[in-house]
Every structure is written in structure tokens, then in C-alpha cells.
Amino acid sequence: MNIQAMTPAAEKIRLAETDDGTILFKVPFPKEMKDIQHMSPIIIKQPYHIDYIHSYGQDSPFFAGLANGKLLGTKCPKCKYTYGTPKAHCMECGSPTEWFELPEVGRIHTFTVCHRGGEEFLKETPFILVLVEWDKVDTLFLSRLVGVDTSKPSLKMVGMKIKAQFKRNAKFRPTDVYFVPAE
């Protein structure tokens, strides 16, 4: 087929264009081809979205508990070691663990005031992170403490009774639970 014969008809064929996607105006381009190697790079900021499907697997009961206002830990039926932060298998003897409900009230084992944080907490800095302890539970649980002045931290906070609070609309994240002073 003769390409010369197609040219006039081909010029009339155009794809429909829309305003979605990336639109650039005044794209830098040198006046002379000899200057093209010195052209500034084109930089585009564009949003990226992906639906990521994942499973909570053996941690599913923990997140279901948070969504229902319950804080769950695990206990080894063999060696009786208890975990404030749940484990599917005992880290002492390797046996499968069993779920149990942790008390709503615990104590501050230690704390820190965070003046910087990840994306989840950027708007809330400074904030207080606590390690929560309970009687008859062998490990600690990391969470936020809310309702305490972050500008006046005190070692007197260690041992303070705190109570679990749950977000009304669960996001199935560890941040669905936080603690407040119990007294």
C-alpha cells in the first residue's frame, strides 16, 4: 500500500482527548536540537492508588476484638506464658497459644513523649507512647496515652493506672485502641 496515498485521509483521523490524566503546559523544549541534551528533566507529581488485599491471618481475632471493644492477648496452655501483644505460638516453648481477654485497666510500665512520628501520628505530635503492663501478663503492650499534658511528663506517670479506649469506627489497625488515665 502506498503511504503517500494514505496521508490526506490519515490527517483527518484523531483520537478523542479528555482532560483526565496528567496534563502539562509549557513543557520545556530547547529551541535548537543541539541543546536537547541540556534540557531540564520533566518532573510530574501524580497520585498513585492501589487496592491491596491482605489477610490478618492468625492475628484476625486481635483486630476483631478491637472492633468490638475488647483487647485480646494470648496464653500458652503448656508453659502458661502470657502475651500482652498476641503471639500465635509461644516464644518460650513453641506451642500454639490460646486467646484471652486482657483487663481494660492496666498500668504504665514506661513511656516516652514523641515529637516526631510516622504518617499516622503527624497531626498529633507531640504524643505519648506507653508500654502497658497487667498483673499476671508476662509481656507489655505498646499503645498511645491520650488525655495527659505532653509538655509536663513526669516519672510519677510510671505505675499510673490507665484504661483502654477504642475508636468507634475501627480501621483494623493497632491504633484502634489507645489508653487514657483511669482515675
Burial class (CB in 10 A: 0-12, 13-18, 19+), 17: exposed
Contact by Cβ (8 Å): 133, 165: no
Which pLDDT belongs to residue 25?
A: 67
SS3 category, 31? coil
**In the predicted model, is pLDDT for residue 21 greater than 80?**
no
* Cα distance between residue 100 and residue 2, in whole Å: 80
What is the pTM for the complete model shown? 0.71
| Segment 120-139 mean pLDDT | 92
| Model confidence pLDDT, tens digit, residues 145-176 | 999 999 999 999 999 999 999 999 989 899 99
- Cell numbers representing residue 129 in the block: 507512647
Taking CA atoms, 182 is separated from 49, 70, 179, in Å, by 41, 16, 9
Buried b / exposed e along 86-125 (16+ C-beta atoms within 10 A): bbeebeeeeeebeeeebebebbbeebeebeeeeeeeeeee
